[in-house]
Structure 1
Amino acid sequence: MLLFQLPDDVLYHILSHLDCRSLSRLSLVCKSMHRFVNRDAVWRRIAKEFLNTGITWNGTDIYPHIPLKERVKIAQNWGKGVCKRAVSLKWKTKLLPWLQLDKDVLFLSQAANIGAYYVHQDSGRLQRNPFEIYSGHNGDVCRFVLTDSHLISGGSDGKILVHSRASDMLTELSGHNQEVNCLDSKAGLIISGSRDRTARIWNLNSSCPRDTIPMCDRVWSVAISPTLSSFAMGTACCENLSPLCIWDVERLECVCNLGSEYRRGAGVLDMVFESPFKLFTCGYDTFIRQWDLRLSPQKFVMEWEEPHDSTLYCIQTDGNHMIASGSSYYGVVRLWDKRKTECLQFFQLSSDLVSSPVYCLRFSSSHLYAALATTLHSLDFRRSPICIR
């Protein structure tokens, strides 16, 4: 009996013992074996071990339209730092830009406007001019978030604007009297935080805040839990209180404070929920921390320190093993493997003469985009590695 004549379940079991190089060589034996080896089911186990393959911790596939074998090829370049760098956009005035990436569209805030740019599938480059511009703020856009139907932005004018992505409909939410530093939205729920020392809860279909939470400090970051029953809030840590806490949405109660050993001014600038119980945070204290909200008392279970003692402005995770972070000096982007304590790769995007923080970063399966004060950089990781052909 030939190898490819074995039952599929037996053949899957045999192939599960091979590494990516051996699988690639086996696929060259014949057409039948090539078709079988290229199936996603063969590569799923291997893909879970690599960085940014689109397979999350619970097995969800973020990029089902891209063959897993191709994603494993690219993933090796993420781990080795093999990429092609380019400056996608430049502007003259120094700004604090923010990014969101939705399939083949990149949204970039510049001053009071948010531009939507097509990303070319073949090259990963941005269309030179935005095909749509979202405006309406009287000051700079501080943060914005995307949902399936809306783009929601918070500005230095204290306004929150809800733009419909399907029409020209614009709704203004008024409530904050100082700049809106942060916001998040899920399933019609909006949470915002401001320099005015309040966090507000909104419903998408209402122009007035549903609830207001007075705080003792400026609110720098918020993130809604995937369960929608709670949200995390990070403050500037200028008072003798923990800058990181979890609030119940319905009861408007602080459920818990995360950590206690923060130095004054160690504010939390960005946070990401990876699951209902797994939260990642970063900020002025130069650490990325992973929190397990099931533990009591709540303590971080892992931490990664920025080697150059720089503020971390932003983070993003792939839902599995990788974290990307942007620091405050020389446009440094770092890639971290959660299974290791030391930085895996780093990229300096600004020159020694012109230093800029990385204010925001976003990545797809093959590209990473980083927004600095006057430039938008792209890193293309699709160069073919040696071990898979």
Structure 2
Amino acid sequence: MLLSQLPEDVLYHILSYLDYTSLSRLSQVCKTIYHFVNRDAVWRKIAKEFLNTGITRNGTDIYPSIPLKERVKAAQNWYDGVCKRAIPLKWKTKLLPWLQLDGDTLFLSQAADIGAHHLRQDSGKLQRNPFEIYSGHTGDVCRFVVTDSHLVSGGSDGRILVHSRRGDMLVELSGHNQEVNCLDSKDGLVISGSRDRTARIWTLTSGCPRDTIPMYDRVWSVAISPTLRTFVTGTACCENFSPLRIWDVERSECVCSLGSEFRRGAGVLDMVFESPFQLFTCSYDTFIRLWDLRLSPRKCVMAWEEPHDSALYCIQTDGNHMIASGSSYYGVVRLWDKRQTECLQFFQLSSHPVSSPVYCLRFNSSHLYAALATSLHSLDFRQNHVCIR
């Protein structure tokens, strides 16, 4: 009996023992085997072990429209650091830009405005002119969040503006008297943090805060839990308490503090929930930390240290094995494999004497975009690799 004549379930079982190189070679045997091997079901097990294939730890597929074989091909390039670099946008004035990536749209803040740029599906190239501009702030935009229906932004003017995705300004949330350093929004809930040492809880339907929480320290980062029951604040760590605290949304009360090993000034600059029980944070003290919120007491279960003693400004994870971080010197982006303690790859995007932090980074299965003080950088990982043809 020919291999192609075996029952499909038997053939799937046989192929489950092959690695990606063997599968690629097998696909060249004949057209029948080629079409069978290219099915996503064949590559799914392998894809879960690679970096940034869009298969999360719980099995969710983030990019179902892209064949898994193509994503595994790009994933090998992420692991090896094989990419094509470009600078799609530059500007003359030094800014503190922020990014959000939503499908084929990249949102970029520049001074008081936020532009929505199309990304070409075939190449990932950015269209220089935005197709939509979100404006209204009288100062620079510090942070913004894009949801399915809204864009919520906080500025140095102390205001929070809510726009529809079409660009119409819907409501202004007023209450902070200094710049809004951070905010998060999920399912109509908005949490903001400010230099005025308060965190505020809002709803999109009201212009006034539902609750104001004294923080006694500047708030640099916030994140709402996927359960919507709690949120986490990260402060500047200039006072005698942990910069990381978990709060109950309904009662506006502190549930607990995370960690006691932070040194003074080790403020938490960015954080991301990967699940209701897994929180990643990065801070001035050069560490990325993974917190397990199921444990009692809740504690850090793993940490990765930036090897050049640079503060970490931003992080993003792929929901499985990869972390990307942006540091404060020379625009350094690092890729980390959570299964290892050492940095996997790094990319220096600025050079002496022009040194800039990576203020924000975002990635999909094929590209990484990083915002520096005077430019937007793009790393394209869809280059051909010798192992998969």
Q: How high is the TM-score relative to the length of structure 1?
A: 0.99
CA distance in 2, matches of 1:197, 1:167: 30
CA distance in 2, matches of 1:78, 1:94: 30
CA distance 1:351–1:167, shift in 2 (3 Å): closer
| 1:128 Cα deviation after fit | 1.5
For residues 176-234 of structure 1, give each alpha carbon's deviation from its aligned partner in whole angstroms, at most 9, with x where no partner exists. Answer: 11100000011111100001111111111111111111111111100000000001110
Give the match for residue 65 of structure 2.
Answer: 65
For residues 53-109 of structure 1, give each alpha carbon's deviation from its aligned partner in whole angstroms, at most 9, with x where no partner exists. Answer: 000010000000000000000000000000000111000000000000111110000
Q: What's the secondary structure of 2:181's corresponding residue?
A: strand
CA distance in 2, matches of 1:248, 1:324: 29
For residues 21-62 of structure 1, give each alpha carbon's deviation from its aligned partner in whole angstroms, at most 9, with x where no partner exists. Answer: 111111111111111111101000000010000000100000
Give the match for residue 369 of structure 1.
Answer: 369
Equivalence map 1:1-389=2 (5 Å): 1-166=1-166, 168-389=168-389
CA distance in 2, matches of 1:317, 1:169: 31
Q: What's the secondary structure of 1:12's corresponding residue?
A: helix
Q: What is the CA RMSD across the aligned residues, in angstroms?
A: 0.8
Could you tell which deviates more after superposition, 201-210 or 44-53? 201-210
Which letter does structure 2 place at the counterpart of 1:97?
P
Q: What's the secondary structure of 2:41's corresponding residue?
A: helix
**What percent of counterpart residues are identical?**
84
| 1:166 Cα deviation after fit | 3.3
CA distance in 1, matches of 2:211, 2:4: 63
Which letter does structure 2 place at the counterpart of 1:234?
G
Q: What's the secondary structure of 1:33's corresponding residue?
A: helix
Could you tell which deviates more after superposition, 378-387 or 22-31? 22-31
CA distance in 2, matches of 1:131, 1:219: 33
| 1:122 Cα deviation after fit | 2.2
Q: What's the secondary structure of 2:114's corresponding residue?
A: strand
CA distance in 2, matches of 1:164, 1:92: 29
For residues 271-321 of structure 1, give each alpha carbon's deviation from its aligned partner in whole angstroms, at most 9, with x where no partner exists. Answer: 000000000000101000000001112220000000000000000000000
CA distance in 2, matches of 1:61, 1:123: 21
Could you tell which deviates more after superposition, 327-336 or 209-218? 209-218
Aligned residues: 389
Which letter does structure 2 place at the counterpart of 1:266?
A
CA distance in 1, matches of 2:260, 2:232: 16
Q: What's the secondary structure of 2:343's corresponding residue?
A: coil
CA distance in 1, matches of 2:76, 2:176: 46
| 1:238 Cα deviation after fit | 0.5
| 1:269 Cα deviation after fit | 0.3
- What 5-or-longer segments of structure 1 have no aligned partner? none
CA distance in 2, matches of 1:124, 1:167: 23
CA distance in 2, matches of 1:369, 1:128: 14
| 1:170 Cα deviation after fit | 2.7
CA distance in 1, matches of 2:331, 2:165: 31
CA distance in 2, matches of 1:128, 1:178: 32
Q: How high is the TM-score relative to the length of structure 2?
A: 0.99
Retained in 1: the 8 A contact 2:133–2:167?
no
Retained in 1: the 8 A contact 2:161–2:169?
no
Could you tell which deviates more after superposition, 167-176 or 275-284? 167-176
CA distance in 1, matches of 2:167, 2:317: 32
Retained in 1: the 8 A contact 2:331–2:372?
yes
CA distance in 2, matches of 1:250, 1:9: 50
| 1:123 Cα deviation after fit | 2.2
CA distance in 1, matches of 2:114, 2:30: 51
| 1:167 Cα deviation after fit | 5.5
Q: What's the secondary structure of 1:41's corresponding residue?
A: helix
